[in-house]
Amino acid sequence: MSAKMKDRMDPAVSPVIGVLLMLVVTIIVAAVVSGFAGGLAGDTKAAPSASIDVKIETSTPDGMGGTEGKMTFEMLSGDSIPTKDIEIITYFTNSTGHIYKTSHTAKSEKFDLYGFGTNYARLPYLSDLSKVGYAGNNAAADFGNYTWSTGGILSVGSIRQIADFLGLEWTEGVDPAPDTIDEADFKPGASVQITILHTPSQKTIYSKEVVVK
């Protein structure tokens, strides 16, 4: 082939090579994007499904002839959920518009259950003597350390515990007077927004205005 003919062909060859290179780059980019999207889809956590009933009661029989406040979370049915994977968020708004907000996770501080400085638990604790025994200096019963299953009841078991759980101030009663919550608007008929979040998936598994009784 003469040099003259070669010179005439080069301009025609260059565009073809350019098109081929663009196709190769496009294919590589598409493969990378597809792999990244597939990785994200694979990392997505599925949220558990559960039917949950929450109650807040300011006066229930304490078994000793008196009354006591109690807040309970009962799983009626659904998937078992490790409590290390959930966050409980509460909102209470008083008549002036002030919002009390709390968040409870496996890393939350423990609460002095009886005010003696001897029995601590992370709320809400698991109420199941056959499985974990009594709450208080018992890690197995602490929120974040157990798996919540159908029939399981999590408890916040007194007025002072309810106050701490909801971020309210309380006053210790002088026997036989009971402890009381200082916030006057927290009473039967008031409502508390309770949200339970599955942290691995960031999906809400329970959200409801719970009426105080």
Strands 67-78 and 50-61 come out as antiparallel
Residue linked to tokens 């029989």:
61
Average pLDDT for the chain: 85
Q: Please give the pLDDT value at position 78.
A: 96
Compute the distance between CA of residue 45 and CA of residue 133 in angstroms, rounded to an integer: 32
> What are the residue boundaries of the structural domains of the chain, listed by start?
1-44, 50-211
pLDDT at 24: 40
Look at residue 48 and tell me whether its pLDDT is greater than 50. Answer: yes
Question: Are the C-beta atoms of 191 and 168 separated by less than 8 Å?
Answer: no
pLDDT of residue 61: 74
pLDDT tens-digit map of 106-134: 999 999 998 889 999 999 999 999 899 99
Residue 9 has pLDDT above 50, yes or no: no
CB 205 within 8 A of CB 50: yes
**CA 60 centroid distance within chain:** 27
